Structure 1
C-alpha cells in the first residue's frame, strides 16, 4: 500500500497474495505517513496515540464528579425524609404516652434521634381529640450537614392514639 509502512509481527512475512488477507493470529502494526489525495491535498494521520486514555479521562473527570455529587445530594435528601419520619414517630409515641407535659416529652423524643448537625423544626401541639399529632421538618443540607442548607425541608408527620 502506497504511503504506509507495515510490519507483520508473526514472523512469516507480508501477505504473499497481496489481497490484504492474513492468516489467523497475525497482527499488523505500523505507522501511517502523509497521504496525498487525488485533489492534491494532504492529510496527516498520527500513528502515536500514547496518552490518549489520560486525556479522555481528564475530560471525563468533571462529568464523573458532577454525577457523584448529584447522587450524594439525592442520598442526603432521602436520608432527610427518613430522619423526619422517624423523629415524628418517636415524638408522637412519647407525646401520646405522657399524661401531662406531652409537648415537652414529644419535643425531647423527636430530637433525641436526630444527629446534632441536622436542623429540624418540631411541632408538638398540646393535643385534642383521640390522636396526638406531631410534625417534624428537617432542613435538607447541601453536600454536608451544617455546610449550606436549602430552603427546602423534608416533612415528617405522625400520629399516635392517646394512652393517658
Structure 2
C-alpha cells in the first residue's frame, strides 16, 4: 500500500477560508442589529428629555420649542441628520421622535426604516 501524498495537511486552512465570508456576514448582521437597538434607545431618551423640558417650560409655543430643542440636544451629530422631533403642548405634553437607522455607521447612508420613540407627561402647574 502506498502512502497518501500530503494527507490532510492544510485542510483546516481551506475550511477556514471557506467559512470566512460567513463569519464576516454574521458579524456585520449582528452589528446592524446593535445599531437598530441603539436607535430605539436614542429615540426613547430624546422623547423623554423633550417631554421633561416641555412640561417645565411656560405655555404655548415656548413649550413646544423647548421640547423640540431638548429632544434634538440629546442626539449626537451623526444621528441628528435623519431625526425629527414633534411635540404636542396641550395639557398632556407628548413628544414623538423619529430616527433613521444607519447602515453600518451613523452619519453614512440610512435604511428606509424609521425608528419611533414616544413619551408623554402631565403638564406641571406652577404657582
If the length of structure 2 is used for normalisation, what is the TM-score?
0.89
| C-alpha RMSD of matched pairs (Å) | 1.3
The aligned residue for residue 74 of structure 2 is 113
| Greater helix proportion | 2
The aligned residue for residue 79 of structure 1 is 38
Instruction: Tell me the distance in 2 between the aligned counterparts of 1:142 and 1:50.
Output: 40
Which entry has the higher C-alpha Rg, 1 or 2? 1
Gaps of at least 5 residues in structure 1 are 5-30, 33-45
Q: Greater relative contact order: 1 or 2 (C-alpha under 8 angstroms, separation 6 or more)?
A: 2
Gaps of at least 5 residues in structure 2 are none
**Deviation, structure 1 residue 48:** 2.4
Of 86, 100, 107, which residue of structure 2 is paired with 1:123? 86
If the length of structure 1 is used for normalisation, what is the TM-score?
0.70
TM-superposition CA deviations, 1:78-111 (whole Å, max 9, x none): 0000000000000001001101300111111101
Number of equivalent positions: 121
